[in-house]
Structure 1
């Protein structure tokens, strides 16, 4: 993607149930080139839906513990974690309810990254950079997605 950042505000998108019914999400982008961006409402501990063939990046806005294929891992707020969509994943909300940004990409077709920034950091970095930005108020999440050759 080229050109200035596109700013997305999750509150203007409808909330829909997760595929497994364990939570709610707001789908911000479903791009035909093979990637999807959403913001999940994390209300309680939950098991993630499986998405075989996709690579996932999960960026929580609260401290959590992720269990990925039986390995428990503390994840600090604003830290992105990547894992395959077919992994067995559960989230434990150690700091209470919150939100998380999810980026899902078709394996072999595209890759991406998520970076959490304060509004001040975002302004210093240059808001005219290409990509997407999820505006969550106190945190902006920079989203970069491209073909696998992009890496």
Structure 2
């Protein structure tokens, strides 16, 4: 069952690249851009997360939290974040494998990884915008600023 615009964003707790637990419910009062991606160190994912680092996260309003999620381990995320200078949380949906991606309706059962799903969640925890791209199709990061302006 997929999460749709207007739904309350399902709560979850995952560890970031430093092993620190991040819980969605703890982010109430902030807007969240929740970004699912297939795999660290892969070509399109690399380009997308670098664009998030360079074109979005640095210029996002102060009340916006970027969270990225993949089925990679905490250790893989740490190596990738250190290599690329990613300072936003890279959350590990490693075990139970893909559980959060499944909850949000962006898990590819056949391949065992997340689709390119993005959810913009308002300060009350309601999904206000959603886009899901197939695995080989990169996202348009510029859309995030437009959506956030609409829900400010």
Q: Same fold by TM (over 0.5)?
A: no
Q: What TM-score do you get using the length of structure 2 for normalisation?
A: 0.30
Higher relative CO (Cα under 8 Å, sequence separation at least 6) belongs to 2
Normalising by structure 1, report the TM-score.
Answer: 0.30
Structure holding more helix per residue: 2
Larger C-alpha radius of gyration, 1 or 2? Answer: 1
